[in-house]
């Protein structure tokens, strides 16, 4: 998969980042993109990564990496365009922050042919 980070950065929230061979569209969700966490208090970090504000991928995670992780989960699980479901995968290292804590899980939500990913707690 050839992805260009500068092109992906131009995509607006909710729009298409990538169309897979299956026809599934991976869409951009600003809500889950990395934020600067240096200098945030524990309470601010909890608030910024709450359910309402959305869990975030770790700082330094690129849109290319998010698309690649999403595509891999969908491919590994044999996702097809007609499904409405979620897929959960747990990694051996933290990939995001949820409710102020580093988390190792990712959830890929698929509905109406569109998918997006976000970090989740693995326990």
10-residue mean pLDDT profile of the chain (123 residues): values are: 91 97 97 96 97 96 97 95 95 97 97 97 80
Please tell me the predicted confidence (pLDDT) of residue 123: 63
Please tell me the predicted confidence (pLDDT) of residue 122: 83
Domain boundaries along the sequence of the chain? 5-120
Show the tokens assigned to 31: 């809500």
- Would you state the torsion angle of the CA atoms of residues 76, 93, 27, 77, taken in this order, to the nearest 10 degrees? 10
The reported pTM is 0.94
Q: What are the backbone angles phi and psi of residue 67, rounded to the nearest 5°?
A: -60, -45
Bridge partners for 108 per DSSP: 87, 117
Bridge partners for 114 per DSSP: 25, 111
Q: What are the backbone angles phi and psi of residue 6, rounded to the nearest 5°?
A: -65, -35
Of the candidates 100, 76, 107, 104, the one whose C-alpha atom is nearest the C-alpha of residue 92 is 104
């Amino acid at each position: 998969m050839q992805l260009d980070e500068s092109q992906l950065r131009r995509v607006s929230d909710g729009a298409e980042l990538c169309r897979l061979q299956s026809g599934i569209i991976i869409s951009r969700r600003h809500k889950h993109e990395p934020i600067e966490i240096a200098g945030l208090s524990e309470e601010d970090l909890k608030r910024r990564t709450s359910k309402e504000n959305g869990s975030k991928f770790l700082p330094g995670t690129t849109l290319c990496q998010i698309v690649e992780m999403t595509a891999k989960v969908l491919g590994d699980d044999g996702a097809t365009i007609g499904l409405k479901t979620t897929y959960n995968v747990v990694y051996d290292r933290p990939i995001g922050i949820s409710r102020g804590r580093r988390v190792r899980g990712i959830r890929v939500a698929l509905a109406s042919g569109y998918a997006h990913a976000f970090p989740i707690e693995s326990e």
